[in-house]
Amino acid sequence: MPSDEPAAAVRGIVFRPQRYTLEALHQDEPRPPQRHEDGRLTYAFRGGESLVLRRLLEDHGYLPSPTADADLVWSSGHVGPETLLSLPRHAKVNHFPRSGVITRKDLLVRTIAMLRARCGRAAYEYLPLSFVLPADAAACTAAMGRDGGATWIAKPIASSQGRGISLLGSSAKLPVGEDCVVSRYVARPLLIDGYKFDLRLYVAVSSFEPLRAYVFEEGLCRFSTARYSDPADGGSAADADVFAHLTNYSINKRSSHFVPNADAADDGFGSKWSLSALKRCLARNGVDVAALWRRVDDLLLRTLIAAEPSVAAAGRQVGTAGGRASCFELLGFDVLIDECLKPWLLEVSLAGE
């Protein structure tokens, strides 16, 4: 439903904050593309359509259009140079070329490894020790053997929403027949009332050369739905309760202990909190939230710096720096805080999917 907040006008378009519900979105009927007739901005989806985004854009005056003529092109996946070169110079695109160097699990590991080699391990210590399989299988096996008490976590490269994730003990056999990333499990996470949680933080990047990014003040805090215990403390890592160790909403919503929150005013209740609610909780328990968030911001910045050489070079190749297609990126950073209040980067997602 429309908000009563004041509106702002840009190029004759009135922008008003809107509130959307799934019920209203499901009632929408598909509409064929049409060209704008009165100078209003236009948009096009590439690779898949978002009902939420379509409603948002059209409520703000945008009209659907063929991709070749659109002012805004919203792609559901990575954008290649050929796509950027085919667009008009004024078009805005929601992905940078080669942003996959941090949004693909395997490429993130490789990108951070290169920066560690160049800048020293201490500068990029916030990513758990990780290996890309099958290429790094021998090195991974050796590392697991050296640290006999550790637990490891395997994530398929091509999966999302927690699908295919498994915990491994040091003597476990590595996954075979599937490309995946195996990382040292952060076994001592910060807990709230005995439950593990992680953060989803949103960052908008408007330029990589020079680097210009905006961290959204609000975000999500996602809880597991079973009380946490270190998988190395007795039992087998393979038998660990998935609802205690994984915080993915798509997994925990299936738990009988999942607590939904339907009241936006009570944002510190249930299995998913707002970032603001988490900060209030931490402050009440004596945590220096400002100091913690300086470390979180440093993690975000260093990750973007790691991506900058590849993304900027790709942009120069297709002329984005010269004004051909103007790119931007909305990224979702998944961050875990350990019991020593150290932030760890778990992965980076294309939040605009």
pLDDT in tens, 223-274: 999 999 988 765 555 556 889 999 988 899 889 898 888 777 789 888 999 9
pLDDT at 346 over 90: yes
Where in the chain does DSSP place strands (E)? 8-10, 13-15, 42-46, 63-64, 72-75, 92-93, 130-133, 151-156, 166-169, 180-184, 191-192, 195-208, 211-215, 220-223, 272-274, 326-327, 329-337, 343-350
Q: Which residue has the tokens 């009632």?
A: 27
Given pLDDT bands bounded at 50, 70 and 90, which one contains residue 24? low
| DSSP count for the chain of H helices, then E strands | 10, 18
Note the pTM of the prediction, 2 decimals.
0.86
pLDDT at 49 over 90: no
Q: Which three-class secondary structure state does DSSP give residue 81?
A: helix
Provide the β-strand partners of residue 334. 200, 347
Six-digit token string for 159: 């999966």
Given pLDDT bands bounded at 50, 70 and 90, which one contains residue 90? confident
Given pLDDT bands bounded at 50, 70 and 90, which one contains residue 295? very high
Provide the β-strand partners of residue 252. none
Separation of first and last alpha carbons in the chain: 24
Q: For the ranges 218-227, 304-313, 324-333, which has the lowest average pLDDT?
A: 324-333
Given pLDDT bands bounded at 50, 70 and 90, which one contains residue 36? low
pLDDT in tens, 111-168: 999 999 888 888 899 999 999 999 999 999 999 999 888 999 999 997 777 778 988 9
Domain boundaries, the chain: 8-76, 100-350
Q: Which residue, 314, 322, 350, 353, is CA-closest to 83?
A: 314
| pLDDT at residue 341, as a whole number | 98
